[in-house]
Structure 1
């Protein structure tokens, strides 16, 4: 990308990098790392004068398998119920990526925080 002075990097983070929950500290920390890396890379590329754009997509509840990976049975049950009633389709995330990628080359969407309208945190 640097050789051609053009490109787009899309990283997927989480709303948890902005609003961590008490039981999700480790998850939030990993997603904050993705957020920090994205911003550092964006600044690096801007300082280098390249036209490489860096975008972080930070979704909230999305209809994925994430609740199935929760090991605590009580937390898993709560998360499954929340996702069943609230989660947005994965296509919404794909649409936000397409929006960022299809911006004019001189315009960068640095971050999209994407949540279901019913999601409080």
Structure 2
């Protein structure tokens, strides 16, 4: 399961998340019977103004794994989205990155502060 971030070329994030580039919050291993779906998104939260909830519901998804190239933006906003509440969310920390190691670490630390029964930060390596 993946999501593409689209943004006008004039946005500052265009250098990293260029038009139609796969950006943050790509959903992998989401237990959707091995099917892949792609949608376009224009906000950091992959659920916002997209049909992601409908796609996940259609496939009976209960768990989502979130990873991406903007830990502090797309990944955190998607993982903490109110629309993610019905799902068990895992952020695959070693499959995320940010402009610097420090920003990445700060974002992961903030996510770990929110860890609960439905949300966790894990390494993908042992999965």
Question: Which protein, 1 or 2, shows the higher relative CO under an 8 Å CA cutoff with sep ≥ 6?
Answer: 1
User: For the superposition of Structure 1 and Structure 2, which TM-score range results when normalised by the shorter chain?
Assistant: under 0.3
Q: Which one has a larger percent helix, Structure 1 or Structure 2? A: 1
TM-score by length of 2: 0.27
Indicate the structure (1 or 2) with the bigger Cα radius of gyration: 1
